[in-house]
Amino acid sequence: MKNKIITILIIFIIIILGVILGLKIKDKNLKETMIEKEYFVLGLDDSFPPMGYRDDTNEIVGFDIDVAKEVCKRMDVELKLQPISWDAKEQELNSGNIDCIWNGMSKTDEREKTMTLSDSYMKNSMIFVVKNETVYESVEDLKGKKIGVQSGSSAEELLAETEIYGELKEIISYADNMTAFMDMEANQTDAVFVDEVLANYYIASNNKNYKVIYTNLEAEEYVIGFRKQDTELCNKVNNILSEMKNDGSLAEISERWFGKDVTTIK
Partner 1 sequence: MDLEYFINLFKILINGLKTSLEIFGLTIIFSIPLGIIVSILARSKSVLIKEITNIYILVMRGTPLLLQIICVYFAPYYILGFTYNRFIAVIIAFSLNYAAYFGEIFRGGIESIDKGQWEVAYTLEFNKVQTFFIIIFPQAVKKILPAISNEIITLVRDTSLAQVVGVTELFSLAQKQANYKFSIIPLLLAGGIYLIISTILTIGFKKVEKKLDYYK
Q: Which residues are at the interface with partner 1 (CB under 8 A)?
A: 3-4, 7-8, 10-11, 18-19, 22-23, 25-26, 28-30, 43, 46-49, 53-58, 82-85, 87-88, 91-92, 94-97, 175-178, 181-182, 202, 205-206
Q: Please, which residue, 29 or 216, has the CB nearer to partner 1?
A: 29
Helices marked H in 63-210 — which ranges? Answer: 63-75, 89-94, 109-114, 154-159, 177-185, 196-206
For residue 200, the minimal CB distance to partner 1 (Å) is: 13
* CB distance 104 to 86 below 8 Å: no
**CA atoms of 148 and 171, how far apart (whole Å):** 6
Tell me, what amino acid is at 166?
A: G
CB of 199 to partner 1, least distance (A): 11
C-alpha 106/C-alpha 219 separation (Å) is 10
Instruction: State phi, psi for 130 to the nearest 5 degrees.
Output: -130, 165
CB of residue 185 to partner 1, shortest distance in Å: 9
CB nearer to partner 1: give 93 or 240. Answer: 93
Cβ atoms of 52 and 102 closer than 8 Å = yes
What's the min distance (Å) between Cβ of 7 and partner 1?
4
